[in-house]
Amino acid sequence: MQKLNPHFFDDFNPKQLNSPKRSANQLTPEEMHAVLNGDVSLNGIVKKIKSGEIKNILVLTGAGISTNAGIPDFRSPETGMYTNPELKQRLKLSPTDAFSLHGLQHEPQTFYTIVKEIFGPVLLGNYKPTKTHKFIRLLEKKGLLLRNYTQNIDILENIVGISEDKVVQGHGSFASARCTLCSNVFKTDSLESPFWKTVLQGGVPTCDKCSDETGKNVVRPDVVLFGEPLPSRFFDLKKTDALKCDLLIVAGTSLLVYPFAGLPNEVSKTCPRLMFNKTPTGLFSKANQETILNNTLTAMPNTDNENYRDVVVLGDIDEGVSKFIQLLGWGEENN
């Protein structure tokens, strides 16, 4: 029989019998309060940045940050592609169906009509980077940008001057293209390249290294089509970036498409999370809400007393980001 510790009853606390056990990743009330010092607002995040406590900002961006540049998105009823009736009449597939491998192979003209409409003006300089793109570049200049994970394939990150190492093109890009039949690589870095000349003239680029009577030698840009896996670089970096991140900013994405949408759940529980969007979505549905209109922030009633780190600024994304920059005192630098 095991000998009883004589101090067993001295240490016994009956109140602990019914108290819930705290899991290893659960924060105490004091730890939760320390995340934003109890100020769960845009201004609370500004104070943390100004104090120097935030040094590694992870930015997740989607189509919503490019609509102010004039680029239509795939889904929005206000700014989506189908708001252009002339373009809608020319498309034989929906944009979502066209941007699938099946759509590209069986209806390449629709795919490249969309590419011409969106990316032609970007390359011609008609669509310029927005204030939000410039803000991400400013974060890099200040040494605060850990990484920008983008769902966009419009290359405005490249045009605004964000370093290639700081950008993860989650859905690929138009930096290169290849034949869908023989995988021959084509240059796409110039408007004078055969690829872009063909696209801007309304045609479908095909491979000159192989011929195929079925038309399957279509050249495709290295973008992620619907149903395809994300690039390996996304998976190589996301875990270490999430652990290092001390502020997460989400802008212009509904966080509906996985695995991209899972990134906000991978950051530390002590990491504040900030969203700029027209509507609160996903895990930000219970965030503390502030609206931006005419450069004025208005706090909405808090619906979740347990929220200690999530803030969403509702309204025009560029306007919300501009207010953020103003509060940080960086206004003259974001040009």
Candidates 102, 106, 133, 171; catalytic one: 171
Is 133 one of the catalytic residues? no
Summarize pLDDT for 242-251 with one digit per residue, the tens. 999 999 999 9
- Residue 16 in this model has a pLDDT that exceeds 60: no
User: Which of helix, strand or coil describes residue 293?
Assistant: strand
List the 185-187 sheet strands across, edge first: 185-187, 172-179, 219-223
Q: Under CATH, which number does the domain 79-126+173-223 receive?
A: 3.30.1600.10
CA separation for the pair 129, 126 (Å, rounded): 10
Angle CA(124)–CA(254)–CA(50) in degrees, nearest 5? 85
Q: Which of 256, 257, 258, 318 is nearest to 285 (CA)?
A: 256
Specify the CATH number for 36-67+130-171+232-333; select among 2.20.25.90, 3.10.129.10, 3.90.1150.10, 3.40.50.1220: 3.40.50.1220
List the 57-61 sheet strands across, edge first: 167-169, 145-150, 57-61, 247-251, 273-277, 310-314, 288-293, 296-299
Summarize pLDDT for 80-91 with one digit per residue, the tens. 555 555 555 555
Angle CA(239)–CA(259)–CA(63) in degrees, nearest 5? 110
User: Does 36-67+130-171+232-333 match 79-126+173-223 in CATH topology?
Assistant: no
214-234 core/surface letters (b: 16 or more CB in 10 A; e: else): eebbbbbbbbbbbeeebbeeb
Task: Say what the pLDDT of residue 102 is.
Answer: 82
Summarize pLDDT for 278-308 with one digit per residue, the tens. 998 888 988 999 999 988 999 988 767 789 9
Summarize pLDDT for 123-142 with one digit per residue, the tens. 888 889 999 999 999 999 99
Q: Phi/psi class of residue 252: alpha, beta or left (left: φ > 0; alpha: ψ in -120 to 50)?
A: left
Q: Show binding-site residues for Zn(2+).
A: 179, 182, 207, 210
- Look up residue 304 and give its two tokens: 């979740």
Domain boundaries, the chain: 36-67+130-171+232-333, 79-126+173-223
pLDDT above 70 covers what percent of the chain? 84
pLDDT band at 93 (very low <50, low <70, confident <90, very high): low
- Residue 257 in this model has a pLDDT that exceeds 50: yes
User: Which of helix, strand or coil describes residue 158?
Assistant: helix
- Look up residue 263 and give its two tokens: 């990134």
